[in-house]
Structures are given as structure tokens and as C-alpha cells.
Amino acid sequence: MPHVHSRREFIRLASIGSLAIAGGSLLRTGARAEARPPGAGARKLGVALLGLGSYSANELAPALQKARLCRLAGVVTGSPAKAAKWGHKYNLPKKNLYHYDHLEQIADNPDIDIVYVVTPPALHPEFAIRAAKAGKHVISEKPMACSVADCDAMIAACRDAGVKLSVGYRLHFDPYHQELMRLAGDPSFGPFTRMTGDFSFVMRGKQWRAEKRLAGGGPMMDIGIYVVHAACLAAGGATPLAVTANEEPKTRPELFKDVEETMRWTMEFSDGAVCSARSSFSQNSNRFRAEGPHGWIDFPDSAFAYRNIECETSRGRLSFDPPVNQQARHLDDFADCILTGRATPVPGELGRQDIRILSAIYEAASTGKRIVV
């Protein structure tokens, strides 16, 4: 029979599956995904969105309207007209509307506690470091940066400034992916020995995602990272031992001049588990599956979606009610980390680990060799 979780079970599972960094590997902890509500009269932490593209407009700003511990307090953009539009829509005071060139002035604004960097990846390091030096906590959208060295610089800047750094891994706060993590560590179900995944979409025209100077790569960097991250979670939080990869021939070379159009890769883990994966800007796919001798979990066509995820297991269909807002849960969790002093379950070190894996995949594709991570 299909298994539909009760509300009590949903709340229990929501607290399972957060990750922490230790000894170079991801280790499971009991950190909660539901942040505590503020006390009477407590101020919600203020968040400034830096970069006002579609993700900020369609996902993060609406999520901040639902958050319990934080609120949209300001914006940072290169467009004065866009800043004015956001200020009017969200009733933001003029003093909380910043231009990229004047980000340092945010240091004097007590309304803003967190800067969420939502620019193309190549710009994450500059803005994250500047925000940290201004004394603000930082969330960097994924991928964290385009190189391990840039990740190290971001981590160091936040450490030196005494502020917290988190990466926008929203799926750590999604109950379906938390169940993936839980099952991976359940000896009656896991461990998983084989994973497959494909996250792809058809890019219709030229955009920054096809420019290496801004994106750092093609679909591998933009959405392939989701499959990489899911495979590590399904492997119990482990880092792959080695990778192999192959860039497929381009069907639209005029659009993908300096980035890959399609990448296939394999991740090998030290316990023998293997993930075979693909990512492309020329087909549509959104799936992930993990299986082992005791059971399997399958996300057939919405594995990495913002909402309406569908998931089956060898024990039945998963269904969580009520639905959650992944971004709101992440934002609230980070606010709770700041308020309580606990570590974020999605820190900069986690983002750095994924960039290390992606760098190895690109090296494997360019050399044709098996690369030890």
C-alpha cells in the first residue's frame, strides 16, 4: 500500500537529515529544519537580496513574506529603476535600496542583518566578501563560486569578519530530500549502492548561463550540481573517491561557444557505490534514483523542483502534508543559527566540497582520465 505520512511523522522527519562538516566528509546531525518562533516583541532579522533576477523575484521575495524569523528589508542592484520598483512593491525605505557600487554603506544600516547573494556564480565571491567585511551575515546562492580558491576566500572573509556563511541548498529543508538522507542511513533500507540522475532543460536563447565568465561552466555548474549533491546525500554524506566524465558533441555550438551543452559523468564512492549522471541545456529531465539491496527511492520527474515533488520508494509513495516552502525554511533556519549561535547545516564548506567535485568532473572531461577527487 502507498505510504502517506501523518502530520506527526512529517514533523519528526522534518528534523532529520541536516548535515555538518567533519573530517572532510558530510556527517549526519540532528539539527532542526524548523526554526524556533521569535519571542514576544522580537525583531525579525532583515535580509537584503543582492541581485534581483527571476529567482529573487519569483522565489526568494515571496519566501521572505512567509518566513517567521526574517523579512525582506532591502535590496542591492545595479539598476536604480529596479530598486525603486522593488521599494514600492515591498514598502522598503529608500535608505535600504543599495547600488552594487555602494554596498559598503550597508555596514551602517541596522535594519539589515543578512545579505543573500543571488548574482551569477562568478560574482558571488566579490559580493560575499564585501558583505562580510561590512559586518553582515551571508547566504550565497549555489553554485557557491567557480573555483575552490574563490570558495576558500569567501569562507576566510566570513570567518575573519565573525559572520556566518550559508549556501542556498534549499533541498536540505525539503521533506522528500530529508527522507532520502534518512533512508540512506537506515540499515534496514540503505545503504544505496547505485544512483542515477539527470537534470536538464532546453535553453531557448542566449543568457548568462551560457557565458563561462559569469557561470563558470554550462549545465554542469548550473544544474548538474544538484545531481552531484543528491548523490553525495544518497551515499550517506560521503565525498566521491573519483570521477570520470564525457562532454557530448554540441548540437548548437553557436549558443554554447565556451561552455558544455551536455555532460555525462560517473561518481565512484569508497564503499563501491556508483552514480551515473547527466546534465544538459538541450533536453528536459528532472530525475534522481537511488537503490540498494534493501530498497530504492525514485524521483521520476520532479527531483529538484521548488514544489510539487513526486517521490516513490520500494515501500510505497511518499506524500508530505502540508507542503513546505523550501526557501522560507532555509532562510528561517539561517536566522535561527544567527540568533542561537549554532552552526548552519549548509555552510560554505559544503559549497566548497561540491565545487571541488565539479572541478574534478571538468578535468576528467577535458583529459579523458579518471580523476581522484
pLDDT in tens, 58-80: 999 999 999 999 999 999 999 99
Q: How far apart are the first and last CA of the chain?
A: 42
In order of start, what are the domains of the chain with their CATH numbers?
A: 33-169 (3.40.50.720), 175-323+351-372 (3.30.360.10)
> pLDDT tens across 4-45, in order?
333 333 333 333 333 332 223 332 333 344 555 555 457 899
Q: State the Cα–Cα distance between residues 48 and 245, nearest whole angstrom.
A: 38
Comparing CA positions, the residue from 32, 85, 33 lying closest to residue 61 is 85
254: left (phi over 0), alpha (psi -120 to 50) or beta: alpha
Structural contact between residues 209 and 222, judged by C-beta atoms closer than 8 angstroms: yes
Q: Where are the beta strands (DSSP E) in the chain?
A: 19-22, 25-28, 45-50, 70-77, 97-99, 114-117, 137-140, 165-167, 194-200, 242-247, 262-268, 274-280, 285-291, 296-299, 311-313, 316-318, 371-372
- The pTM of the full predicted model, rounded to 2 decimals, is 0.90
Residues of the chain with pLDDT > 70: what percent?
89
The x, y and z cell numbers of residue 367, run together, are 583529459
DSSP at 239? P
Give the model's pLDDT for residue 28: 31
Residue 85 above 50 pLDDT?
A: yes
Question: What does the pLDDT average to over 329-353?
Answer: 98
Residue 190 pLDDT level (bands cut at 50, 70, 90):
confident
Compare 355 and 20 and report the one with higher pLDDT.
355
**Structural element, H or E, at residue 225:** helix 225-234
Peptide bond just before 143 cis, omega within 30 deg: yes
Q: State the Cα–Cα distance between residues 144 and 99, nearest whole angstrom.
A: 22
Residues of the chain with pLDDT > 90: what percent?
88
**Contacts of residue 124, Cβ cutoff 8 Å, sequence gap at least 6:** 117, 140, 141, 144, 145, 150, 154
Residue 351 above 50 pLDDT?
A: yes
Residue type present at position 335: A
